[in-house]
Amino acid sequence: MVLEIIPVGGYGEIGRNSTLIRYNDEAVLLDLGLHMEHYVALTEDEDVVKMNPQLLMDHNAVPDIRKIKEWIPKIKAIAISHAHLDHLGAIPFLGDKFPCPIHGSPYTISVLKALLKDDGITVRNDLLPHSENSIFPVSKHIKLEFISATHSIPQAVMICVHTPEGNILYTNDFKLDFTPVIGKKPNLKRLKELKLKAVIVDSLYADDPRHTPSEAIAKEMLKDTLYGIDTKGKAIIVTTFSSHIARLKSIIEIGTKLGRKIVFLGRSLAKYATAAEDIGLVQFSKEVEMVQYGSKIKRELAKIKKPDEYIFVVTGHQGEPKATLSKMLNKKLFNFKPEDIVIFSCKTIPTPVNLENRERLESELKSEHIRIFKDIHVSGHAGREDIRELLHLLNTEQVIPSHGTPEKNQASSELAQEIGFSKEKTPLLKNGDLLKLS
């Protein structure tokens, strides 16, 4: 009997998450994501490159599936933990390489369908939605279980791979949020019941000694900001992650109580919101106007005579030059007035490009004497103390750090050793390694 873990992407780096679990002659692939920084750098000037899997792999923009070439015919399922691009964004480019269905929660599959449609791409894989806290067979000997988790996107799940030789739990990505704004709480009862050979653990903030606050706290931060300042006569612009449906819900609720009309401006906002509507998760279109494309955004803003009656929710929280917020600073699109309000309900992702873009954007906003409110946000990832809570909860033989730089994974390994795992039982894997569990 053989049970193995093979890291394909996301080990010793942040992005392009993908892990192969092999049991004898059957295997499953968990996640198939993009490395966003590498992908953006590669495709910035040339769209055609998106369709070249070889080049994407050579530039570390997608998982290098050449490392598991001999296993591809034996992969029985691809299971996606949630709908962020660093977990499913490589499917449009690599999905066709795998002769198997793709499984995800209803929202994850809805987003995947929207991404494929948006890019005009078809894949041969069946796209199969499964409810949270369900278990289903994918081959003769392997079952998958979707256990409800909380993250910064709806219907994220921890995936338990059940085999006759033992079970492996995959936790990328999670936080322990017991007052979520949308969706289910983490299913701790089920997690306690599992007997595991190994847990693959989200280590992004394993070096940060904190508990990650609930999304309900972010809602209160938004309230505190918008209710605590004088907004009369001022346009309000809020920018956040387009996929953060819970945050968008809070913005709509708060804006409505302020008596403001809500408008979503930007293609990705409409895409993720529509995917949520398609499965009945929200009904944003009854409460807000959604405008996707540049020409329509220009027309919409031109006909608004009293911007101080609106909250504009826009793309561009990382300072992306082509996103709506950056374009609004062009006076042909929108006329900012001194002391208009811009709220960044997000954290700056600390890559050189993002830091440079945000510095430029904030400098331009300040030059227009616009009021800026930054970091009105809580993370979607577990802090060190949340990881500790999870490890105390689980009955597992090994702890496998992932979703982190080498330093962050090292911090995760050291935390497991603090709890009582031996160094040998919390190995630091790299992409392409092989870990035998039996």
Q: How confident is the model over 281-330, as pLDDT tens digits?
A: 999 989 999 998 878 998 999 899 999 999 999 999 999 988 999 999 88
Alpha helix segments (H runs only) across 199-244:
215-227
pLDDT band at 362 (very low <50, low <70, confident <90, very high): very high
- The stretch 145-165 carries a mean pLDDT of 98
Q: What is the mean pLDDT of residues 412-425?
A: 98
**CA-CA distance, 159 to 140, in Å (whole number)?**
18
Helices (H) and strands (E) in the chain, counts: 14, 19
With a pLDDT cut of 90, the percent of the chain lying above it is 89
CB 91 within 8 A of CB 100: no
What CATH number has the domain spanning 3-211+380-436? 3.60.15.10
pLDDT-derived band at 1 (thresholds 50, 70, 90) equals confident
Q: Is 423 helix (H, G, I), strand (E, B) or coil?
A: helix
Residue 9: in which H helix or E strand, if any? strand 3-9
Torsion sign over Cα 414, 201, 347, 379: negative
pLDDT at 46 over 60: no
Which stretches of 228-351 are DSSP H helices? 245-257, 267-278, 294-303, 324-328
Q: What is the mean pLDDT of residues 92-108?
A: 97
Rounded distance between C-alpha atoms, residue 243 and residue 281, angstroms? 13
Q: Encode pLDDT of 243-289 as tens digits.
A: 999 999 999 999 999 999 999 999 999 999 999 999 999 999 899 99
Q: Which of the four pLDDT bands, split at 50, 70 and 90, describes residue 396?
A: very high
pLDDT tens by residue, 49-84? 456 899 999 999 999 999 999 999 999 999 999 999
| Number of residues that this document lists for the chain | 438
Amino acid, res. 59: H
Bond before 173 cis per omega within 30 degrees: yes
pLDDT on residue 49: 47
Say which residues have a Cβ less than 8 Å from residue 48's Cβ, sequence separation at least 6.
none
How confident is the model at residue 51, as a pLDDT? 66
- Whether 344 shows a pLDDT value over 50: the answer reads yes
Domain 3-211+380-436 and domain 215-373, same fold? Reply is no
Phi and psi based region of residue 22 (left: phi greater than 0; alpha: psi -120 to 50; beta: remaining): beta
Give the C-alpha separation, 15 to 394, whole Å: 25
Average pLDDT over residues 416-433: 98
Percent of the chain surpassing pLDDT 70: 98
> What is the average pLDDT value for the chain, to the nearest integer?
95
Flag whether pLDDT at 359 surpasses 60: yes
108 touches 276 (CB < 8 A):
no
Structure-token pair, residue 292: 């996707």
| Residue 215 structure tokens | 């999304």
> Which CA distances in Å does 436 have to 22, 241, 429?
9, 38, 12
Cα–Cα distance between 409 and 202 in angstroms, integer? 9
Higher pLDDT, 335 or 79: 79
What value does the mean pLDDT take over residues 99-106? 98
CATH superfamily of 215-373: Metallo-hydrolase/oxidoreductase (3.40.50.10710)
Where are the domains positioned within the chain? Answer: 3-211+380-436, 215-373
Mean pLDDT of 403-423: 97
Identify the band that residue 352 occupies on the pLDDT scale cut at 50, 70 and 90.
confident
pLDDT tier for residue 349 given thresholds of 50, 70 and 90: confident
Does 47 have pLDDT greater than 70?
Answer: no
The DSSP symbol for 213 reads: P
- Round to whole Å and give the CA distance between 417 and 333: 55
Residue 114 reports pLDDT greater than 70: yes
Q: Return the pLDDT at 33.
A: 98
DSSP per position, 106-141: HHHHHHHHHHHHHTT---SS-EEE--TTEEEESSSS
19, two tokens: 């892990």
Average pLDDT over residues 322-344: 91
Q: Which residues contact 366 (CB under 8 A, 6 or more apart)?
A: 372
First-to-final CA distance of the chain: 7
pLDDT of residue 386 exceeding 90: yes
Cα separation, 271 vs 139, in Å, equals 33
